[in-house]
Amino acid sequence: MPSFDIVSKINMQEVVNAIDQSNREIISRFDFKDSKAKFELKDSAATLTAQNNFQLKQMLAILEAKCAKRGIDIRCLKVHDPQESLHEAKQLIDIKQGIDQDTAKKITKFIKDSGVKVQTSIQGEQIRVTGKKRDDLQVIITMLREQKLDIPLQYENFRD
């Protein structure tokens, strides 16, 4: 039976490259001169550090632009509220990978409500879709691409 997997993955090396490029751009920009603004990446979270909220907003725009140029969907960036103290402001950005249980249940419910004769099963952070016809699976992929979801989806491991 034909099947495929629905996953949400990003290339972490491209994220590292986007962070490095953003740091280089901040060093060379005149409005960030002597501001000690920087990007830091630890595990799957980036920390933006600047003198004030205005600079944090500019830094976030730079990071999103660099990620978009490198093919990283910016929907995978979960931006937290900035934390401001007397001399600096920080903002945490989580880099989301995988499909959480709530989103997986929404996707499987959407597929079942569509009326296409396929079976879905949640397997950890991915969803496996199987059906009797290859065309049914292609219809499901088309329908999911049209949906407005808060995470980027990829379709892989397509088998006949």
HEC string of 78-97? Answer: EECCCEECCCCEEEEEEECC
Q: What is the mean pLDDT of residues 9-23?
A: 93
| Confidence band, pLDDT 50/70/90 cuts, at residue 147 | confident
Query: Please, what is the average pLDDT of the chain?
Result: 91
Shared-domain flag, residues 115 and 50 = no
Between CA 17 and CA 31 the distance in angstroms is 23
How many structural domains compose the chain? 2
**24 shares a domain with 71:** yes
- For 56-81, the pLDDT digits (tens) are 999 999 999 999 999 999 999 999 99
Model confidence at 25, pLDDT cuts 50, 70, 90, reads very high
pLDDT, tens digit, 9 for 90 and up, residues 87-96: 899 999 999 9
**Given this model, what pLDDT does residue 34 score?**
84
Give pLDDT, residue 107.
92
Domain boundary pick from 76, 95, 114: 95
Is the CB of residue 97 less than 8 Å from the CB of residue 9? yes
Residue 20 pLDDT greater than 90, yes or no: yes
Identify the band that residue 48 occupies on the pLDDT scale cut at 50, 70 and 90: very high
- pLDDT at residue 148, rounded to an integer: 84
CATH code: domain of residue 66: 3.30.70.990
Domain boundary among 53, 80, 95: 95
Looking at the structure, tell me whether residues 102 and 47 fall in a common domain.
no
Domain end residue (candidates: 71, 95, 119): 95
Cα–Cα distance for residue pair 132/40, rounded to 1 Å:
48
Do 22 and 71 share a domain, yes or no? yes
Question: Are 116 and 129 found together in one domain?
Answer: yes
Domain hosting 25: range is 12-95
Question: Domain with 105 in it: what CATH number?
Answer: 3.30.70.860
Do 22 and 88 belong together in one domain? yes
| Cα–Cα distance measured from residue 77 to residue 116, given in angstroms and rounded to the nearest whole number | 32
